[in-house]
Amino acid sequence: MNQIARWRDLDRERLLRIGRELAVMAGGSIGSVLGGAVGVRLLTGCLTPAVYGQVALAMTIATLSNQVLFGPLANAVVRFFAPSQEEDKLDVFFATAMWVYGRAFVAMALIGLLASVIAVVFLRGWSVLVAVTIAYATVIGINAGLDSVQNAARQRSVVSYHGTLGQWLRFLCAVGVVYIFHAATGTAAISGYLIAAIIVLLSQTLFLLKIFKNSILHFSVPTATIVE
């Protein structure tokens, strides 16, 4: 009887934990949807249709480049986090992840430089927008990787919080930049997106350091080992 009661208590605790996670995820999804709806209304109110089309095109470029380069990396983070944690090798995991994402950052920087040069030659007036878009794509790619770590670590409330925060900040910062600099341009709007993404990145980093501080700051893995 005691064993049965213990099992019931465990099942109740598990159900409560699952219920809390579902509630947090649902709340985050609702907050993100509301943020998107309100944000689009604010942004379309201060940009012309042509300029908003530029923003939509820039977002498409950022999303595609993110999926091609950073998407597989985020999947790899989810795949290898649990085995690394089980084998007590999170220091190696974070060292390797930093090494790989550092190379991805360099690749995106080179792509951004090349795209900006092409824009200067063939698309006058688009060079700055292209550069800011590539920078934004890079930051949200790193954000996706940190989200993957938090998801793998079952810190879903943190992921939900940052998802909602990012959605609201993205549009608020875009509108803020447009009004502060009196520049209703695609470059101003995407610059606001970039500022919001950087704020979310800083917040994600602080949360990650709080949870995995020892593993992140005290790794000692030779570069040759990482490459292998």
When pLDDT is averaged across residues 196-221 and rounded to a whole number, the result is 78
Structural domain contains residue 2: no
Query: CB burial class (10 A; 0-12, 13-18, 19+) of residue 70?
Result: buried
Structural domain contains residue 210: yes
Q: Quick one: pLDDT band at residue 212, thresholds 50, 70, 90?
A: confident
Structural domain contains residue 3: no
Q: What's the mean pLDDT when you consider all of the chain?
A: 82
Residue span of the structural domain in which 185 resides: 22-227
pLDDT digits (tens, 9 = 90+) for 48-62: 999 999 999 899 988
Structural domain contains residue 5: no
Structural domain contains residue 9: no
pTM score over 0.85: no
Q: What is the DSSP string of 5-38?
A: HHHHHHHHHHHHHHHHHHHHHHHHHHHHHHHHHH
Number of domains in the chain: 1
pLDDT of residue 10: 53
Structural domain contains residue 12: no
Residue 209 has pLDDT above 90, yes or no: no
Structural domain contains residue 67: yes
Structural domain contains residue 207: yes
Better pLDDT: 226 or 92: 92
